[in-house]
């Protein structure tokens, strides 16, 4: 079981993802904006961060970049409606480990979370 911080401003999607992650045996906590997420990242004990790109206020790209700039080492899975290769590159430049385009299947989310958790356990 992993403790996951889900950062998503769409409450319908967030509730679906929270239920799914808990169904898969994880403990999931939610933030709806970048400011709250950064505060939780600095105080919470998480194993992975699932971060939406398009957030109100501070974008997910900015959150990820700030988190990395502060020395944050947790794996970050970026969720986005963007689909271009340049968008994937922006995610990587900000420090995201993986990128998942919306819409996605819940099993795709599970697979990416498991890959990142396994990679984190190897280091």
Residue 96 has pLDDT above 90, yes or no: yes
Once rounded to an integer, what is the mean pLDDT over residues 3-17? 97
Residue 40 has pLDDT above 70, yes or no: yes
Burial class (CB in 10 A: 0-12, 13-18, 19+), 48: buried
Domain limits of the chain?
8-83+93-105
Rounded distance between C-alpha atoms, residue 62 and residue 11, angstroms: 21
- Look at the block and give the residue holding tokens 């999931």: 28
Q: Report DSSP state, residue 9.
A: S
Mind listing the pLDDT tens digit for each residue in 15-36? 999 999 999 999 999 999 999 9
Give the pLDDT confidence score for residue 89 in this predicted structure.
85
Give the pLDDT confidence score for residue 63 in this predicted structure.
97
Interhelix angle 11-23/106-122, nearest 10 degrees:
60
pTM above 0.85, yes or no: yes
Domain 8-83+93-105 -> CATH class: alpha beta
More confident residue, 6 or 122: 6
């Amino acid at each position: 079981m992993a403790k996951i911080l889900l950062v998503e401003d769409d409450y319908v999607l967030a509730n679906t993802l929270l239920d799914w992650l808990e169904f898969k045996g994880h403990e999931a906590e939610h933030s709806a904006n970048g400011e709250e997420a950064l505060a939780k990242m600095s105080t919470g004990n998480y194993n992975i961060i699932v971060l939406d790109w398009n957030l109100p206020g501070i974008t997910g790209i900015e959150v990820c970049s700030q988190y990395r700039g502060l020395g944050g080492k947790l794996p970050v899975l970026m969720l986005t409606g963007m689909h271009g290769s340049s968008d994937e590159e922006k995610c990587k430049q900000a420090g995201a480990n993986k990128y998942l385009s919306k819409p996605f299947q819940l099993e795709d989310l599970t697979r990416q979370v498991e890959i990142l958790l396994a990679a984190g356990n190897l280091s």
